[in-house]
Chains A and B, each alone.
Chain A
Amino acid sequence: MKLRKWIQVTWPLAPIVAALLVTSLILILFQTSPKDALAAMIEGSFKDTAKVLQVLAFLVPLLLAASGLLVTFTAGLWNIGVEGQIIIGAIMASWVALKIDLPAPLQITLEILAAMAGGALWAALVAVLKTRGGVNEIFSGLALNNLAIILTNYLISGPWQPPEGGTFRGTQPFAENALLPLLGESRFSPLSLGIALLAFALVVVALRGTFWGLKLKALGKNPRSAFLLGVSSEREVIFALMFCGALAGLGGAVRVLSWFDSLRQSISGGIGFLALLVVMLASFQVYWVPPIAAFFSIVLMGSTTLHIRTGLHPSLGGILTGVMVLFVLLFGDYGKLFTRRKKIPSPVKEDDAHG
């Protein structure tokens, strides 16, 4: 009994332990001391202000995409297309940045609006394919992700290549007035963090305190009864996905306008998938999303430092986060794991009913 209690209390730590265990084993396989690696990772995220600001700059688009995904997950939708929605947002922002020249505040507003519209429309494709075409959003989202990547590569190597000649690396850097105002020498824009936190707060209020949030919840929990109650599933599905797409597109704009200064080849860098993991790890509990997103940013930035320092592949961060989420998905539900199957006696007494 005491042991049970003890397990129950320490259980939330188990995924972290499991993830550290697996990554340590892998590191030992590669003749690297896990302790040194961990030290390098922590140093990579916290060594000085510059590193901390880098983590924050990485966090902003992740938080935006995760906030959007909270909405789609609530509606029971698997918006794997979020990655593509980020990329289209980045493309749209780059388009405005390259082709239009306005004073800074107007320019940035226009870039952000274009990015949000692009992301929302890309998500609307997924939605319409689902409601009208009967295509599962996982497959259409995935195909649209790949199409967005191909489009980026085309733009970089074709119409938008830098004047000095096409490389596959990226477009020319945008003009100063097109970029988000950055903090000192870093790539972090406080304005973007403010917007991201605002977006997150908006999502929390919308999901918890509005009729729309309630309808989405009904749709996610039981689409059939939601339909019987008069929730138009098509309208809600389209709107939820477009809402998520707009936030993801905004995240894409932040990627090109602060993290980079141009449209690059892997502009999203898997942030959309990472955001899916964040929301899954949070088990759709909204308040856990920002801390988990921050933790993931720390891990990812740390593993990039590890890569620079030791040459080990930067996917170690992905392994660590992946194992954690897998562990939570499998064993997070403490109750389901430790309750043994019980035979439930039949509620109907034989013969009695027929008297």
Chain B
Amino acid sequence: MDNPDLLLKQLSSIVLNASPLIIAVCGETITERAGLINLSLDGTMLLSAMTGFIVGYQTGSLWLGFLAAALVGMLFALIVAFGSIRLKQSQVAIGFVLTLLGDDLSAFLGQNFTRMPGSFVMKAGIPLLKDIPILGPIFFNQDPVVYFALLLVIATWFFFFRTQPGLKLRGVGERPEAAFARGVKVNRLRYLYALVGGALVGIAGAAYSLDVKVGWSEGHIRGMGWIALAIVIFGGWSPFRGAIGALLFGATKALATVLQRTFPQVSVVAFNTIPWILMIAVLVVSASELTEKFINLMPVSWRRPLRRLLRVSAPLALGTRFGED
């Protein structure tokens, strides 16, 4: 790692690899901020990755591929929203069944399209910006999916915290009764943001099969949806922290690959376990009482920033139902 060019290349590949995850995390953050949990991410992403790849392959148009994937994501999100809001059933149960169903559907429907070369998103550096030293090659000499992910993070943050509809969105997820009293149509907004989030999750799936991990095979990106769901929690339902979480996750994976090359005697297995151990560790840090005890051992002036850094709190009305009648 003494070669700076190599390091830059490594960093830019981390950003590229984390982009679909960032998109999915943003999508789910939007949905959960409105108070609805869409647990079906893993299945949705598998099915939309498959759909996006096949549509892109058959029509030759990447746009149609992404569009089809977004529609798949919206369909699954709609099922979760309709089931929990209108039919008043458990959103966790519906989401979980959709996870399994999406996995099986993608395996079956995509069986004739496995391991085929398909079209993919081309790299397109942004003129001027890509020549900035260090930042240029990492962020601006990438492909459109990366730019979309980065813009999405900024746009989501701006929407949440600087606009009127964003305030309503957060209100619906925090105190739906209060929002309702102010004349906000709580359930209508939940439908809306479930669909928006679902579309983004679908796009994230296609971002894998059409860009980051081109192609389709059974169980293509199995597990990434769950990772995204964990990162949403780690990110404290904030788009920026979520994006940082996704980048850190990508960096850890890249680091593992480097370490593996340096220490070939350690089994590959040890490195495969990293994402899952990391997932548990991260959730423990953000939710456990132990973290609180640890923070209280620190000097008083450190406590507030540390708490802000390590602790998260969920939207108050997350996963609860709201009856407008």
Contact = CB atoms under 8 A, between A and B. Distances in A.
Nearest to B323: A341
Contacts of B89: 329-330, 333, 336
A331 interface: yes
Given A78-B92, A276-B96, A319 B101 contact: yes
The A interface, classified by DSSP as helix, strand, loop or mixed, is helix
A129 interface: yes
Interface string A131-150: 01111101110111011001
Contacts of B181: none
A330 B94 contact: yes
A140 B104 contact: no
Interface in B251-282: 267, 269, 272-273, 275-277, 279-280
SS of B interface (majority): helix
B83 A135 contact: no
Nearest to B93: A329
A280 B90 CA distance: 11
A138 B232 CA distance: 14
Contact of A318 (B100, B267, B289, B290): B100
Contacts of A316: 104, 108
B108 A329 contact: no
A315 B108 contact: yes
A80 interface: yes
Interface in A109-151: 129, 132-136, 138-140, 142-144, 146-147, 150-151
Interface residues of A, number: 47
Given A80-B96, A150-B269, A313 B283 contact: no
Interface string A313-355: 1011011001101100111010011000111100000000000
B325 interface: yes
A277 interface: yes
Contact of B92 (A133, A138, A140, A325): A138
Interface in A64-80: 78, 80
Contacts of B82: 330
Interface in A144-173: 144, 146-147, 150-151, 153-154, 158
Nearest to B286: A134
B42 to A, nearest CB: 9
A133 B269 contact: no
A197 interface: no
B126 interface: no
B138 interface: no
A3 to B, nearest CB: 21
Given A143-B280, A150-B272, A343-B325, A132 B267 contact: no
A158 B90 contact: no
Contacts of A329: 83, 89-90, 93-94, 97
A26 B108 contact: yes
26 contacts: A78-B96, A132-B288, A132-B290, A133-B283, A133-B290, A134-B288, A135-B288, A139-B280, A144-B280, A154-B267, A312-B111, A313-B108, A315-B104, A315-B105, A315-B107, A316-B104, A316-B108, A318-B101, A322-B100, A322-B101, A329-B93, A330-B94, A331-B87, A333-B89, A336-B88, A343-B325
The 3 closest A-B pairs by CB, nearest first: A134-B287, A318-B104, A322-B101
